[in-house]
Chain A
Amino acid sequence: MARMKFLCDADRCIECNACTTACKNEHNVPWGINRRRLVTIGDGEPGEKSVSIACMHCTDAPCIAVCPVSCIYQTDIGVVLHDKDLCIGCGYCFYACPFGAPQYPQATNFGSRGKMDKCTYCAGGPEANGSEAEYRKYGRNRIAEGKLPLCAEMCSTRALLAGDGEIISQIYRERTLKRGYGSGAWGWATAYYGSERGS
């Protein structure tokens, strides 16, 4: 079965922030919650790179491992989702997440930071696929409609790739061969192979 991944080709990303805007719009994400964001490395220096980052839907995901109420889960296509009804807002997933993906509606921890929110790979939540209850809590479920995450599908430079890991890594590799350079798959070593012991 296909294993869903994100890959950002930093040599193509032009820091236009369209992916973050598309995400906000598609899922009606409120103020202060940033499911996807852009980080610019070496800003203003030669070799500056911008990378679009969100939940990478890790293999052996650390957020799932540390959640004290086990409200986060992974599906067979590798997508990491969560049940907001169970979340207690403790913030542990943010300490464990290598990519700063979990978001909270409250800044401080007076008992709780509210219900955690994060990138769902446009795959909604535990409610029935495409239902209004699912949309209200998690945003649109494009995967159930046979579509890939909107951030990648609408990327104007095709920097952000989404879909089966084998296919997108092949696309990326063909590109770098053709143009002769590439800075690599940002975050992949940590996200998809990071917890492999002894390597």
Chain B
Amino acid sequence: MAARAAGSIAAIILGVLLVVVAVRSLAAEDLVVPSNGVTAGGRRDSPVDHLDPSALSSRARLQQWPGSAEPPTRPSLALGGGENGEQSSNGKRLVEEWRSDRSTVQDILQEPKMRRGIATLPAPAANILVQPQGRSWRQWHNEQIFYGGGLYIFGLSLLIALFLTWRGRISIREGESGQTIERFSPFERANHWLTAVSFILMALTGLIILYGDALLRPWLGASAYAALARASAFLHVTFAVPFFLGVLVMIVLWIGQNIPERIDWQWLKRGGGFLSDTQENPPARKFNAGQKLVFWGVVLGGLFLTATGIGLMFPFFWSGYTGMQLAQAMHAAVGLLMIGLIIGHIYIGTVGMQGAFEAMWSGHVDRNWAKEHHSLWYRSAAQRAEPSSTARRRSYPIVAFASGSAIAVLFALAMVAIYQAASISEPELANRTYPRSVHLEP
């Protein structure tokens, strides 16, 4: 009953969030307006505040030939710094004004299309003059993926909360037997937690990079949020390595038991027996069809995210604009899909089903749970294993979890060291980027 009550409360909250996101996505106008400085507590900046408004215009007329313009008015304040400006209150009107002269310049506008040439610079993509597709990528980034991700994650969570309200926690029908059987070895569990810790950290940091600007920055302020975003980007990259390692080990450990079979189809058709207490559960081996879907989702999604992630770490190394834009958009989209998959996985492994969490935590599941959900696996495993009710206590579940997490952190730290060695140090970069000496005229 408590589970159903929690489910209904969660469903109400998620329903409200879903409506908020849906309304915002419909009302969204992705338009950039002049703000004269960064928003959320940044410095105000308007370089022309103290200027006579006609100064720049008369200067522009000097470019006419023959030069017929009057000498430009002297700026009232030269070097030395004027007052910084206030945020423009009518930015949207300004943008409309800027666009309104389109008809008057129609005669000199060209067809907006990709234009390539040659450039003498060794920089990537330097030979491309115009790539109007950047604006399409921006639209995908700011609209389809941004709001699609919100609708997908809240929508999926709402479905899960509604399921919990309707079905309650799936219990072991015959009750706990008190006798356990080993389901996952300490090595399997450590590897699971290694992958899980890395994935959750990458999911959170990825969500910060995608949504933090809209959700956190107004609360944190510009500088604090920039520091958080920088840390997020760095953690996202470092934990990719233990995650990839975990996925590789997972493939080796579990791929043999995750090949799709005929009984998986039966399992799916009967909803895994999740839908009612009275119906007999469909038979399953060590992994049922739902778990196989999670396995293949994690393996294929994880490999795809690793591949596109490496592509993004070395920009323009393997591909041009289209490839980079596609890689970024697909990385975000597949990452969001995987976050949804893992939300479902975490739900059924903890709140959703009695006895399921023990499988990955202590490695030992109740015999009645095994009989009900993995009948075929239980039949063969029970013959091999000795009945034991104390095994769960002796398995030190925290050890597998802690060692998995520790390995994730160790690999991340190793990657930090490698990145530090491979990238240019901050002081050296400062010398490369900024001039050593400054010659300001008095």
Contact = CB atoms under 8 A, between A and B. Distances in A.
A86 B314 contact: no
A22 interface: no
B24 to A, nearest CB: 16
Given A65-B138, A88-B226, A196 B42 contact: no
B39 A73 contact: yes
Given A91-B315, A95-B137, A164-B56, A59 B119 contact: no
Given A66-B141, A146-B56, A38 B120 contact: yes
Contacts of A168: 60, 63
B48 A189 contact: no
A184 B222 contact: no
A20 B53 CA distance: 28
Contact of A43 (B56, B97, B118): B118
A41 B115 CA distance: 8
Most A-side CB within 10 Å, residue of B50, B80, B112? B112
B81 interface: yes
Interface in B100-155: 101-102, 104-105, 107-112, 115-121, 123, 125-132, 134-135, 137-138, 141-142
B278 interface: no
Contacts of A37: 119, 121, 123, 126
Interface stretch (B10-18, B193-201, B292-300, B434-442): B434-442
Contact of A71 (B38, B131, B321, B440): B38
Contacts of B141: 66, 92, 96
B222 A94 contact: no
A83 B44 CA distance: 11
B394 interface: no
Given A97-B134, A109-B314, A193-B109, A73 B35 contact: yes
A44 B155 CA distance: 57
A186 B129 contact: yes
A53 B105 CA distance: 20
Given A30-B435, A108-B313, A75 B46 contact: yes
Given A109-B312, A126-B38, A76 B56 contact: no
A95 B325 contact: yes
A195 to B, nearest CB: 6
A156 interface: no
A39 B104 CA distance: 27
Most A-side CB within 10 Å, residue of B44, B225, B229? B229
Interface of A: 1-4, 28, 30-34, 37-43, 51, 53, 59-62, 64-79, 81, 83, 85-88, 90-92, 94-100, 103, 105-115, 117, 123-132, 135-137, 141, 143-148, 152-153, 158, 161-169, 171-174, 176, 182-190, 192-196, 199
Contacts of B112: 189-190, 194
Contact of A130 (B36, B79, B118): B79
A90 B37 CA distance: 20
A144 B82 contact: yes
Interface SS majority for chain A? loop
A153 B30 CA distance: 35
Please name the 7 residue pairs, one residue from A and one from B, whose CB atoms are nearest each other, closest first.
Answer: A163-B60, A146-B75, A28-B435, A128-B81, A41-B117, A86-B226, A126-B43
12 contacts: A32-B123, A66-B142, A73-B34, A88-B230, A97-B134, A109-B237, A115-B433, A126-B37, A127-B45, A132-B440, A146-B75, A163-B60
B328 interface: yes
Contacts of B107: 173
B34 A75 contact: yes
A90 B85 CA distance: 29
Contacts of A100: 125-126, 128, 131
A69 B225 contact: yes
Nearest to B115: A41
A88 B429 contact: no
Nearest to A28: B435
Contacts of B101: 165-166
B201 to A, nearest CB: 14
